């Protein structure tokens, strides 16, 4: 597997030899899996500390749900949800904090509060000022592929050539980022599992991930508790499987394993403690 070194602020993340785990903290009332569980200041901070203690290498905090059919929230509401949490957690944990947002002003305030990575699911398309901010701050950024918007992306998504279209899009956004003054070493690509994709699309992406890793950037994968896992299990076992079902966790582990073995450098997950032990074995196999 290709290896990369992310050096920024006071952090150094070595990617490739071991899987980097990004822990998910949704400070929202409506995220698809854990919405509402951590949408108070106290519960969010407590969960952030737990994810760090469980072994997360990055903590990804978001204040606007990107689940299918989600309605956007105002900039002020998003700021109110995430800034106090980031300010406190940045003083309590010693891992980098990522801000999951498409708004440059939210990202800017999050960086001022202690965040040091930007996770932009729109790949700078929603707010072009985001690229200037990343270039100025010289920090890592995640650029993701999404077909449509969270509100529309799961309405009959279709592709003429799935892997070519996703790979070509991510390549073009990375080139745009570099043109805007962002260093290549700071760019991370995410094919966007579940963002404008059918079950089959998600499986093909995982199975053919090498087409994306061949672009020469670190790759992030986020299959955790996604509906394609629930739908496959529900159909195979002829029983309704929801996001909190233990079998969804098992399915997530399988998707994480396949992603890592096919070249993923970072996995974005809810269950950090379980995934941490799991990746020790997968990394040992892939490095054998």
Q: Kindly list the structural domains of the chain, giving each domain's residue range(s) and its CATH number in brackets, ordered by start.
A: 4-286 (3.20.20.20)
Other beta carbons within 10 angstroms of residue 34's beta carbon come to 17
The per-residue pLDDT of the chain, averaged, comes to 93
CA gap 5, 131 in Å, rounded: 21
**pLDDT score of 158:** 86
Answer whether residue 93 shows pLDDT above 70. Answer: yes
Least confident of 70-79, 88-97, 237-246, 278-287: 70-79
For the chain, give the percent of residues with pLDDT over 90. 84
Strand, helix or coil at 140? coil
Which residues are catalytic, by number?
A: 226, 268
What confidence tens digit (pLDDT) does each residue in 131-178 have? Answer: 999 999 999 999 999 987 776 667 778 899 999 999 999 999 999 999
**pLDDT score of 27:** 87
What confidence tens digit (pLDDT) does each residue in 17-72 have? Answer: 899 999 999 988 754 454 446 668 889 999 999 999 999 999 999 999 776 766 78
Split at pLDDT 50, 70, 90, the class of 221 is: very high
Rg of the chain's alpha carbons, rounded to an integer? 17
Contact between 61 and 98 (Cβ < 8 Å): yes
**pLDDT score of 70:** 66
Beta-carbon contacts of 189 under 8 Å, excluding residues fewer than 6 positions away, are 142, 143, 144, 170, 174, 212, 215, 217, 218, 219, 220
């Amino acid at each position: 597997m290709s290896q990369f070194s992310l050096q920024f602020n006071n952090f150094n993340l070595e990617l490739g030899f071991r899987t980097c785990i990004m822990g998910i903290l949704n400070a929202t009332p409506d995220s698809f899996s854990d919405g509402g569980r951590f949408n108070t200041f106290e519960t969010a901070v407590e969960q952030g500390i737990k994810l760090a203690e469980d072994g997360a290498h990055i903590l990804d905090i978001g204040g606007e749900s990107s689940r299918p059919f989600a309605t956007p929230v105002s900039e002020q509401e998003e700021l109110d949800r995430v800034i106090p949490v980031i300010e406190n957690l940045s003083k309590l944990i010693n891992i980098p904090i990522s801000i999951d947002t498409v708004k440059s002003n939210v990202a800017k305030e999050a960086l001022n509060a202690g965040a040091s990575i930007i996770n932009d699911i729109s790949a700078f398309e929603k707010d072009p000022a985001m690229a200037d901010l990343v270039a100025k701050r010289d920090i890592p950024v995640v650029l993701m592929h999404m077909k449509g918007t969270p509100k529309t992306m799961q309405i009959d998504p279709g592709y003429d050539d799935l892997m070519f279209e996703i790979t070509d899009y991510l390549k073009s956004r990375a080139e745009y980022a570099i043109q805007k003054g962002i260093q290549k070493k700071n760019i991370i690509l995410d094919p966007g599992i579940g963002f404008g994709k059918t079950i089959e699309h998600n499986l093909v992406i995982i199975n053919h991930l090498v087409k994306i890793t061949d672009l020469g950037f670190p790759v992030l994968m986020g299959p955790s508790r996604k509906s394609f896992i629930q739908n496959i299990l529900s159909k195979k076992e002829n029983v309704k499987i929801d996001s909190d079902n233990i079998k969804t966790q098992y399915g997530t582990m399988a998707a994480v394993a396949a992603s890592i073995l096919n070249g993923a450098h970072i996995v974005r997950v809810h269950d950090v403690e379980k995934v941490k032990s799991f990746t020790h074995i997968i990394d040992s196999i892939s490095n054998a």
